[in-house]
Amino acid sequence: MASPNLLLVADSEKDADMLYAVGMFVPDPFIYLRLRGRSIVVMSDLEIDRAKKAAPHCRVLALSKYAQQIHGKGARHAPLHEVVRLVLREHRVSAVAVPPNFPHGLACKLIAAGIRIKPTEGPCFPDREFKTADEIRKIKAAVAMAEVGMAEAIEAIRRSRVDKTGRLIHHNERLTSERVQAIIGSAIFQAGGVANNTIVAGGEHGCDPHERGHGPLKANQPIILDIFPRAVKTGYFGDITRTVVKGRASDAVRKMYGAVQRAQQAAIGKIRVGQPMAAAHQAVVDTFAEAGFKTGRRNGHMEGFFHGTGHGLGMEIHEAPRVSAASKDIFKTGQVVTVEPGLYYPGIGGVRLEDDLVVANGHPRNLTRFEKVLEVWTSA
């Protein structure tokens, strides 16, 4: 089936579909059209030469050409809906599909100009879900950046001392979630990535899976480290999580950690081409149930295991597919998915482990090499 005519208007630094379409970073919104299977971009004079080199698969048109048709000689800019209308008229196209996040105001202007638009049925680029060998290398590089940050974070926790209140001290200052986040961010930046919203959640903060963590970190409590950097050069993400305790973990945390490790392995064991993703999630649920860990609401808060098992990874940190109870998908060759079971109990804390895997014929390939160690101590 031929691909429908498609229109995107966005910048490619924040819009993953646009980055996938053109393969280059552009900070300001521009026009991308796929007309009768051919890719066209309309660029400002500032970007046009770079686009011709970086996006050779696209026909690159000058925005100033259309601006002059609209506003006269010497014009460099024009309303984007007018430019789209002219390009479509040149190609004798009067109807295009647009993504669900297409700007509403621009859509209204296009409709008023006589252009028929409708939301895409399904993803703009279905192939984004299935990574090429080159894309897998880029994701693996981003995972390596996350591992660099993880190593620096755990080393700071390992080398910290414990004061009389149980708080961690590093270089004669309190070791806080914010300081560890900064250590991670600096290490990843030097490795070529950017780490935003990194999670360093100790103790009770770890009971909320998306709590970033704040304030002093303490000994003998689980600390969840969830790191998901974006590679500056390629735009691809890595996403890994480890849980550590500075000192001695309680029996309850040890039991949780062991169950999470077994649950992760059970889920990975279900990652086979053609198998339902819901089965991988169910393997996690069953493992926790067998270990005696209950999930539900208590005292107004959820506890246990109450999120999906994983998600797709690529140009977005969360993209198709989803590995969850509600998933109707099956595993297919070339997908890259996270596997991140976790347990969360107020009064104890949280434990989560996360690796990134490529779905392949036979066993999946784990892109994550970082060790899993619960207790960390200062080296002798």
Q: Is residue 101 part of a domain?
A: yes
Among 84, 102, 124, where does a domain finish?
124
Q: Is residue 27 part of a domain?
A: yes
How high is the pLDDT of residue 2? Answer: 63
Q: What are phi and psi of 147, to 5 degrees?
A: -70, -35
Please indicate, yes or no, whether residues 191 and 275 belong to a single structural domain of this protein: yes
Please indicate, yes or no, whether residues 175 and 320 belong to a single structural domain of this protein: yes
Q: Is residue 91 part of a domain?
A: yes
Please indicate, yes or no, whether residues 114 and 216 belong to a single structural domain of this protein: no
Please indicate, yes or no, whether residues 141 and 273 belong to a single structural domain of this protein: yes
Q: Is residue 1 part of a domain?
A: no
Q: Is residue 177 part of a domain?
A: yes
pLDDT tens-digit map of 259-278: 999 999 999 999 999 999 99
pLDDT tens-digit map of 6-47: 999 999 999 999 999 999 999 999 999 999 999 999 999 999
Q: Is residue 106 part of a domain?
A: yes
Closest CA to 226 of 218, 214, 238, 216: 238
pLDDT at 380 over 60: no
| Mean pLDDT across the chain | 96
Please indicate, yes or no, whether residues 202 and 332 belong to a single structural domain of this protein: yes
- The residue segments making up the domain with residue 66 are 6-124
Place of tokens 């974070």: 153
Q: How confident is the model at residue 174 (pLDDT cuts 50, 70, 90)?
A: very high
pLDDT at 232 over 90: yes
pLDDT tens-digit map of 39-49: 999 999 999 99
Please indicate, yes or no, whether residues 266 and 224 belong to a single structural domain of this protein: yes
Please indicate, yes or no, whether residues 231 and 370 belong to a single structural domain of this protein: yes
How high is the pLDDT of residue 14? Answer: 96
Q: What is the dihedral of CA 206, 210, 265, 308, to 10 degrees?
A: 130
pLDDT tens-digit map of 83-114: 999 999 999 999 999 999 999 999 999 999 99
How high is the pLDDT of residue 70? Answer: 86
Please indicate, yes or no, whether residues 249 and 134 belong to a single structural domain of this protein: yes
Q: Give the domain CATH number at 190.
A: 3.90.230.10
pLDDT tens-digit map of 146-155: 999 999 999 9
The domain total for the chain is 2
pLDDT at 350 over 60: yes
